Amino acid sequence: MPRIATAALAASLLLMLAACGADETVVPVDQDAHVPGTESRAVTVSLGEKLVVDLGEQNSSIGDGWFLVTPPDPAVLTDGGSHSDPDCDQPGCGAAMTWHFGTAGAGTTELTLRYCYRSRPPGCEPMPGRGPAEPVTLTVTVE
């Protein structure tokens, strides 16, 4: 009997781990501040899902930075902050950067992110050929 319970528990854990990525919508932002696959920079997510804005590669050691300059309505989306996945564990490495949001309730809200190079909002300066020169505004509908 213990073997069956252990196997059932292991199977349940594997199913939960496999489902983790299924509860999020990833929205990539390209260098032109355009969300591929959309014309209006709009996205719809289901209540209970997470919204992940993929901001691409950045390197904070050279001055890259992303900032949430207009937060979303907290009744619709909650700010989960920025996350970096470094390319290596050495100083000076780049990182894949994402910004995470949770869904709080049904509705529509906007959020604005801004890329800055060796600067901060409101006086952001882009690095030539790196990152969008204009703020990225997303209209998010939670259903």
Record the pTM.
Answer: 0.75
Cis preceding-peptide flag for 122 (omega within 30 of 0): yes
143 has a pLDDT exceeding 70: yes
- 95-138 residue pLDDT tens: 889 999 999 999 999 999 999 999 999 888 877 777 788 888 99
Cα distances (angstroms) measured from residue 92 to each of 31, 62, 63, 73, 88: 22, 8, 11, 35, 9
Tokens 């591929």 -> residue: 36
Architecture of domain 23-142: Sandwich (2.60)
Position 74 scores a pLDDT of 97
Give the start-to-end residue ranges of the domains of the chain. Answer: 23-142
> How far is residue 26's CA from residue 35's CA, in Å, rounded to a whole number?
11
Decide if 80 contacts 23 (C-beta within 8 A).
Answer: no
> How far is residue 135's CA from residue 67's CA, in Å, rounded to a whole number?
10
- 48-77 residue pLDDT tens: 999 999 998 888 888 888 999 999 999 999
- 13-39 residue pLDDT tens: 333 333 344 598 888 886 555 555 544
DSSP letter for each residue of 55-90: EEEE-GGGTEEEEEEEPPPTTTEEEEEEEEEESSSS
Strand order across the 50-58 sheet: 24-28, 50-58, 95-103, 77-86
47 has a pLDDT exceeding 50: yes
Position 124 scores a pLDDT of 86
Distance between first and last Cα of the chain: 44
| Confidence category of residue 87, pLDDT binned at 50, 70, 90 | confident
